[in-house]
Amino acid sequence: MRDVAVVGAGMIDFGELFEQSFDDMAERAYLNALDDVDKGIDSEDIDAAWFGTLDIAENASSGLGLSHPTGLFEMPVTRVENACATGSTAFRSAVEAVRAGSADVALVLGAEKMRDSAGGLIEGASLEQVWRGRGVTMPAFFGLRATRHMEEYGTTREQVAEVSVKNHENGSKYPHAHYRFTCSVEDVVDSPQVTYPLNLYDCCPVTDGAAATVIVSEDVVEEYTDDPVWVAGSGLATDTVQRGADESLAGFPATQQAAEQAYEEADITADDIDVAEVHDCFTITELVTYEDLGFCEKGEGGAFVESGKPHLDGEKPVNPSGGLLAKGHPIGATGVAQVNEIYEQLRGEAGAVQVENDPEYGLQHNIGIGRDATGSVSCINVLSKDRP
Amino acid sequence: MYEPPFTRDRDANERLAARECDACGWVSFPEHREICKRCGSVGEWTDTELEERGTVQSYVVQQRLPDEFETPLPLAIMDVPQTSGGDPARVYGLFTETDPEHIDIGMEAEADFRRIFDVDGLPIHSFKFKRPRGDRL
Ligand SMILES: [Zn+2]
């Protein structure tokens, strides 16, 4: 198997982009990624592309959704859909193909128009199966973990809120973030209740966005850069709360399993990760993800965020970009953008949110849920500064 | 009742019909066909029925939902026992007539047969949960 490197990363500023079409966003993210390649790249160099979108606004339901805005025709384009792990799964799929030798240069593009359709995900949730879907919204699905975590481990409401405070602080310094305000623990716990125990500032915004990444094989990497970032490992797993494991009431076994795969492939442990971009669709998601990824012991997520370790200047910075809470969560773009942020961190190019521990390994993580909000899927990619 | 998904799950929705894996005791509810979601065996199953009560394992209270929902709407993950004993089923339970202040992990809840919602004007019936009468505060 060949080693694979990231050589270009592009995204657009996330936000309420009513004035931009899906194609506008995808085209700009793609061009930004091409522009980012140190020694330049021609569109003709690209052998294949992977396209991540849930197509919530229904305008890109095939590979054409990538080909049309980029002008990349007459090549294999694979559309990937994997709930909120769509972008990271598209990246993982592209990496596997380049590793296996079916392409030397591949494009990964993720995009989502979240604000063009009013109904959103609640429509599906309200009419799906009586027992599994009725009335189970996204904040409910994650809030169930929060209630249980607080009961089982004594995690406080304030500790959960700390995640929002940290990520908004980081997001205020990150140029592509949707929201760039800061807030206090009091602001979070006093913000309007969405679904007890989660309030408005515990939830990520509804955001449009696009991101693109260029990856290449070891055989051609020198044509594009002298400073590549390598893919060290990845993992992908599924689970559902209905299997009856108590563990899944206050955590996400799928993340634990995906992390195990990724660490094993990279031949590292959780201790080796220097910086991470993780799925914080809700505050509690990031808090339990510290535990699922092995950054701290089970039940210690609250103490971990309180200790300052995952802060920008801490020993294990998590979500220096502000995460989904500040940056936004345009589903297909989310994982691709996280890969790009880790790429920038490992190259020391993250500007105002550059971590200071000279990172060698960076981790990108998504958790996604299935149609009935009972299943879950997790995808993790680990990048490294040195060739694995 | 012409919507296929609702017709298919009618026994589960209206009679709390479930099945127990003979190999590991996992309760399949609503019913699944052949493969056990816990032990993975493609084994034998025994028909079983759930009790009209359960124990709250975790819960939330939804405050902002479309008009067709009553809010605030408590929603719980519940362990619902089989009438014949063995492992309980783990299910999502919608609550009704329950003050959000009066729901907690570990509490028992009673099931009530209700009209859950309409599909194209036709009612879909199933169970909602509430705090048992004697325990009302
Ligand atoms: Zn079984």
Length of chain A equals 388
pTM: 0.95
B57 to A151: CB separation less than 8 angstroms, yes or no: no
Q: How far apart are CA A144 and CA A196, in angstroms?
A: 9
Asked if A30 contacts A11 with a C-beta cutoff of 8 angstroms, the reply is no
CA of B21 to the centre of ligand 1 (A): 5
pLDDT (tens digit, 9 = 90+) per residue, B4-60?
Answer: 666 777 788 888 999 999 999 999 988 777 999 889 999 899 999 999 999 999 999
Neighbours of A309 (CB within 10 A): 16
A131 to B30: CB separation less than 8 angstroms, yes or no: yes
Q: How far apart are CA A271 and CA A267, in angstroms?
A: 12
What's the pLDDT score for residue B1?
42
Q: How far apart are CA A50 and CA A94, in angstroms?
A: 6
Interface test with B, best of A242, A246, A252 (most B CBs within 10 A): A242
- Residue A46's closest CA among A163, A239, A213, A296? A213
Dihedral sign for Cα atoms in the order A139, A177, A363, A32:
positive
CA of A173 to the centre of ligand 1 (A): 51
What's the pLDDT score for residue A371?
55
pLDDT (tens digit, 9 = 90+) per residue, A344-379?
Answer: 999 999 999 999 999 999 999 999 986 555 668 999
What's the pLDDT score for residue A239?
87
Fill in the amino acid letter for A343. Y
CA atoms within 13 A on the CB side of B26: 23
Interface test with B, best of A127, A129, A131 (most B CBs within 10 A): A131
Query: Measured between CB atoms, does B116 come within 8 Å of chain A?
Result: yes
pLDDT (tens digit, 9 = 90+) per residue, B78-107?
Answer: 999 999 999 999 988 889 989 999 999 999
ipTM: 0.91
B5 to A129: CB separation less than 8 angstroms, yes or no: yes
A244 to B38: CB separation less than 8 angstroms, yes or no: yes
* Minimal-distance CA residue of chain B relative to A198: B60
- Residue B55's closest CA among B17, B111, B9? B111
Which residues of chain A register pLDDT less than 70?
A: 118-135, 370-375
Q: How far apart are CA A44 and CA A47, in angstroms?
A: 8
Q: How far apart are CA A218 and CA A388, in angstroms?
A: 11
Residue with tokens 């409910």: A140
Asked if A198 contacts A139 with a C-beta cutoff of 8 angstroms, the reply is yes
Helix axis angle, A283-292 relative to A157-171, nearest 10°? 100
